[in-house]
Structure 1
């Protein structure tokens, strides 16, 4: 494998290991709903530190990562500010904004991305995937980095997204697309098998005959080729006789077709005169394999996303929304459709305007899912823009105009014109299914495509989609050697996940971090406890020590499991614990060097 070499690589190779753990500090007044670290999260702070803070609770638990890092065009105001402790490169790894005249800007971009991608790799689940949007400036270097970290065989594909439809006459070539790199921890063929699902088929479902099984679509009852036992005459309910189309045969033998009729799975178009079609219910649809070309008509453009942002923040001044090419919600929703299940965790560590959070909420609203998002943003607009967008999407926002939702898009060619009746039936099915949700269903032909759109007039306020999230900042680093001095005593919920993760190589459950009785959680090998309070005087007392009575107590709770107890000191020997068969092991905290008062 060809290796990418860039200045500073040897210094950032394992830099992610030197980044200290910092606890997530809940800012309850900035979120929506009951604060919880196992729900939707928005984290304000350097994303390198935020990713490290997530490791004890989310390592190997994230199913989909979507990031839109700096494209490094030389016109973006981003800075390299990682605290890499290497005097040889501090001179050029500085916090000055990186511009087009910076001869090392590509090296700095690689040095910035490397440790972040290492941490993202750790957070990703075994069959999860990472999706990265880039342009031509760094896409080739990004592929080389990803090949090293994930492995060449874990490259799933490279997608072309049409980001704009207007022409840029000032450019040498008018840029019309960006790249989306897709990698996974799993090999390509394995990821294909574990992939959530194919894209939903175009067209809506309806129930014109009030089938008790619910809405359905129809597919042609014919197949390519010639099979003698599948060539016969079919008579419609109105007496019209049909033979298979030329060069084709029916989709099943005549006895099988009769079974379809008995099960009420046959639909006769054209008022009962047309060739038979077979009912297909949503759960039976195989769907469509995603293509590597994603047109603007399907997933939106950067101009579309700017308009959405302006609608949501209609009370903001234009200079408050000066963002270069925010990503469309439909683009991220397409990724979510392919890469997630209904209970997946979706992470965006370059969250910007909060599109990923918006897309996750919209996807849950659409299919009843319970996906969770984690957004990281270091800039000062994390609260007033990133989180505020999510608040407005959840609660609704002031808006006057027409909300439009695309319901179907069909390319018009000779084949669709020949089967115009089928196309009309598809549109009618959409109207039957969604007509009550909108003021009108608009049908228009545009650029060779039939577009069906639901339109609803909004007088004063756009309806919220519902949901909750917790807003966090990053606390002071948890540095175990500094705890020895008693100067830095982190909170129980800050120190606990770090020790749990270090001791078990497993993730802590955020839901139990506020539990009583010093309980940290249950790992595969141990139930883990930590006798600790962030109080130096208390840590010096006998209450902070592992005692025989405490060991007997926790053994009695779960005698079938071993117990690991972190504590500053102990008042019982390991020999006595073993002699009673309690299955309790002691792990000293740094505070064990303190003098413990025996009362």
Structure 2
């Protein structure tokens, strides 16, 4: 595999390992509902540190990751500010923010993204998927990085999102009307996207001209293009017409024996007069319950940038479009990602949260199918509260709204066959008007770029209904520095320290429900239990009460004699040799050096 090289790679390659754990500090006044670190989260802070803070609770548990990072166009003014202790990296900081004239801006973007992608990969579950939007500035470098981190065998697709409905008149060469959406799986052997709902026009193309008892069907082509096909035989139609095989005749997709078996089962259509080139009857009752997603995403289906900004303005009611986030993504785009990538109980992470579109889409998906998806948003900019979280608050509670709400009732790519059957299409539209007209002020029908859309339009002048839900707003606390633990310089809460130690010892996320602080119990993984003898009290930590004793070791082991027990403690009054001699499956791990003594492999 070709390796991507960029300046600074050797300094950031394992930088994510040296980032300290920092506890999540809830701010009850800025969230909705009770504080719950295992519920919806909005985290204000550097996303590199926030991702590290999430590892103890969410490593290997996130089902869908969507990020919309800086595209590195040279016009965003983003800063590379990771605290990497390398002279070259430190020198870069003096040239921030990064602009179009910065000759190292691509290297800096890679240096910024690499450790974040490493942590995101660690948070993703084995059955999870990763989605990232980009444009032409960094798409090729992103592919190389993701191939290295996820494995090129786990690349799934590069989707094209047609984001503009009209060309940009200011374009110098070409109007750039699309963005990319890269899709990777943690493990492509076990991950598959969900099927999309079949549209009404797909089913409408199935008919039953011969009254087949198996129901409606549509013809499928049997002809093949070349001699690599299965069939090189002549066919005699029921009318007596002979369709020759090669040379000079047709190649067929299936072998001759299979062809006549299907004909006997009345799965071959010869036309009403029995004289047509044969085709396979594909029955509606036998097709998949949905449709396979395609890599071309049209704005007519997933929205475009202009409507995304209008939607955000209507929710937040800013006085001017200049006050609002510059490049929000449409909710319909995120809804499509969630439709493909999540189940009703999925955990969805967005570490470049921006205007909060991902949370909006999650809440909307839950309202639609009564799901229990959870979102985790991370935003480092100062608008995390006034914009990102405020949007989520209003979407949950409802908000004053004056404008037009639209609901798509039909979206159909027109074909020549549709035009030949215009009466049937008009009847379908009339049926929609009759069934849905009472819900809207008017029904709009239009054809644009060969696509017929029918929309219900309703004027709302009072209040958009809230979608319901809750979330906890957090900031990042001081780093958990175990070397300073016994000096009293840092005394993190039991849960914060325990989560960090549990993850470092087991490479698994801690289950908060399993923690029994009074018993010093953290939790279990396959084959071992983990204990932490600790209280955030310096005098207590230096007392005999904080030590692992023989009696304590026996009590811990008695809880499950068949498994190994790992015990973190500031001191011990029993040797490892004595524990081994008495067949007590307990291993002592000293604080504060635990992080350096655990072999995570």
Provide the TM-score with structure 1 as the length reference.
0.82
Q: Partner residue of 2:311?
A: 308
The aligned residue for residue 448 of structure 1 is 450
| Corresponding residue SS for 1:42 | strand
Q: Can you list the C-alpha shifts for 1:6-57, whole angstroms capped at 9, x where unaligned?
A: 2211111111111111111111221122222222111110011111111122
Q: 2:263 aligns with which of 213, 221, 228?
A: 228
Distance 2:36 2:264 in 1: 62
Structure 2 residue matching 1:586: 3-state secondary structure:
strand
For the pair 1:327 / 2:317, whether they are aligned, the reply is: no
The reply to whether residue 185 of structure 1 matches residue 186 of structure 2 is yes
Partner of 1:62: 62
Residue aligning to 1:374 = 376
Residue from 287, 298, 304 that aligns with 2:290: 287
Partner-residue secondary structure (3-state), 1:502: helix
C-alpha RMSD of the superposition? 3.2
Whether the aligned pair in 2 keeps the contact of 1:39 and 1:372 (CA below 8 Å) is yes
What is the number of residues matched between the two proteins?
543
1:148 correspondence with 2:148: yes
Equivalent residues of 1:562, 1:583 under 8 A apart:
yes
Q: CA 1:482–1:60 in structure 2 vs 1: closer, same or farther (change >3 Å)?
A: same
User: What residue is the counterpart of 2:251 in the other structure?
Assistant: none
- Cα distance change, pair 289–278 in 1 and its aligned pair in 2 (3 A): closer
Q: Deviations over 1:451-495 (max 9, x none)?
A: 122333323110111112111111111111122322111111211
Classify 1:180/1:554 alpha carbon distance in 2 versus 1 (closer, same or farther; 3 Å).
same
**Deviation readout 1:118-167 (Å, 9 max, x if unpaired):** 11122222232221111111112222222222233222221111111222
Instruction: Note if contact 1:231-1:243 (Cα within 8 Å) is conserved in structure 2.
Output: no
Q: Distance in 2 between matches of 1:435 and 1:584?
A: 71
User: What is the aligned counterpart of 1:564 among 566, 572, 592?
Assistant: 566
Matching residue of 2:253: none
- Contact 2:147/2:155 (8 A) holds in 1: yes
Displacement of 1:554 in angstroms is: 4.2
> Unmatched 5+ residue regions in structure 2?
204-214, 223-258, 595-601
How has the CA–CA distance of structure 1 residues 141 and 279 changed in structure 2, closer, same or farther, with 3 Å as cutoff? closer
Distance change in 2, residues 1:410/1:486 (3 Å): same
Could you list the per-position Cα deviations for residues 526-571 of structure 1 after superposition, in whole angstroms to 9, with x for gaps in the alignment? 2222121111012122332334554454445445544322222234
Q: State the secondary structure of the residue aligned to 1:38.
A: coil
Mean CA deviation greater in 392-401 or 454-463: 454-463
> Mapping of 1:92-491 within 5 angstroms?
92-94=92-94, 96-172=96-172, 173-187=174-188, 190=189, 194-203=191-200, 220=217, 227-231=262-266, 251=281, 285-321=288-324, 323-420=325-422, 423=425, 427=429, 438=440, 441-491=443-493
Task: Name the CA distance, whole Å, in 2 between partners of 1:55 and 1:140.
Answer: 28
Structure 2 CA distance, aligned partners of 1:197 and 1:436?
33
Q: Does the 8 Å contact 2:268/2:279 carry over to 1? A: no
**Contact between 2:484 and 2:592, CA under 8 Å: does it hold in 1?**
no
Q: Secondary structure at the match of 1:92?
A: helix
- Residue-by-residue CA offset, 1:430-468 (whole Å, 9 max, x unaligned): 668766765555444344322122333323110111112
**2:388, 2:42 → 1: CA distance?**
8
Q: CA 1:445–1:87 in structure 2 vs 1: closer, same or farther (change >3 Å)?
A: closer
Counterparts of 1:514 and 1:362, CA distance in 2: 36
1:20 corresponds in structure 2 to 20
In the TM superposition, residue 518 of structure 1 has moved relative to its aligned partner by: 2.4
2: distance between equivalents of 1:424 and 1:580?
85
- Could you tell me the TM-score, scaled by structure 2's length? 0.82
1:504 deviates by 1.3
> What is the distance in 1 between the residues matched to 2:581 and 2:29?
51
Deviation at 1:298, TM superposition (A): 1.2
Distance 1:145 1:250 in 2: 45
C-alpha displacement of 1:3: 2.3
Task: Give 1:327 deviation, angstroms.
Answer: 1.0
Q: Within 2, Cα distance between the matches of 1:20 and 1:293?
A: 41
3-state SS of 1:445 partner: strand
2-structure distance, mates of 1:180, 1:439 = 36
2:398, 2:275 → 1: CA distance? 52
Task: Give the C-alpha shift of residue 307 in structure 1.
Answer: 0.7
Give 1:260's aligned residue: none
Counterpart of 2:244 in structure 1 is none
How far apart, in 2, do the equivalents of 1:119 and 1:541 lie? 38
